[in-house]
Amino acid sequence: MALLDSAIRSRALSDVALTVLVTGLSGLIGRALHARVGTAWNLRALNRSPVAGVPCHRADIGDFDAIRPAFAGVDVVVHLAATVGNKAPDEDILRVNVRGTYNVYEAARQAGVKRVVFASSGSTVSAIEREQPYRDLVAGRLPEAATWPLLTHESAVRPNGLYGCSKVWGETLARHYAQAHGMSMICVRIGHVSAEDRPMAPREYSVFCSQRDIARGLELCVTAPPTVRFDVVFVTSRNRRGYRDLEHTRAVLGYEPLDAAEDYR
């Protein structure tokens, strides 16, 4: 795996002319991605606060006219900015995740951006955890020898709350932009990434994603071949109790997680 990781990094480092705009670069996942790619890309930020060492256009993604200048001359957009979780006010989720995601896609289209990588979420499917066997799985009640069906990119969405619905919207809108405008749109259903960078509750042994695994996954999306026009991929770590398929992610991106929830037991 170390050799594979080295090969992936070498491919990215060879792409020195790539200009990548990241929305929400100051967030946890943005910082992990920044640490991984370093100066390999011409990195820019679209953020509400400044980002040290990176040219930053400061604006709210809910304001289309304010964000448009950030997209000029950009090759790839990584859209991480979002209002997260179902405890957030509904109006914030609608303004940032629904309207804001449309604004990012449309500003990218108008600027001639080749690809948008959308930070979707496992919340697009996680309501299935209310049903068996997933309810017992995430509670840690299934025996080690148990098996269960994996959810794939083709499984029906099961959004958890308005937040999950907003991420389904982002994926559906991405498909529209790929079909209607010929853009490359890759949606990444991200597992549970935390500041602690380790599982902290029983459920997280099913959905854990380390900071370095999500950074690698996003890097692979940015540098994926132009033939990837639209896709939805899960990115988690290699979790024995996981229920989200990684085979499709491996086939499309060459993604191989380096970490596993069980490493922290």
Residues belonging to the active site: 163
Q: Please, are residues 200 and 265 in contact by the beta-carbon 8 Å criterion?
A: no
Q: What is the DSSP string of 125-193?
A: TGGGGGSTTHHHHHTT-S-TT---PPB-TTSPP---HHHHHHHHHHHHHHHHHHHHH--EEEEEEE-B-
Going by C-alpha positions, the residue among 215, 203, 216, 213 that lies closest to residue 242 is: 203
Angle formed by the axes of helices 211-222 and 2-13, to 10°?
A: 40
Under 8 Å CB-to-CB from 187, ≥6 apart: which residues?
118, 120, 170, 171, 174, 231, 232, 233
- Give CA separation, 129 vs 70, 81, 125, 206, in Å: 39, 26, 8, 11
- Give CA separation, 237 vs 25, 62, 257, 261, in Å: 22, 32, 5, 7
Going by C-alpha positions, the residue among 184, 175, 142 that lies closest to residue 157 is: 175
Whole-number Å distance between alpha carbons of 169 and 177: 12
Q: Please, are residues 215 and 36 in contact by the beta-carbon 8 Å criterion?
A: yes
Q: How many CB atoms lie within 10 A of CB 118?
A: 25
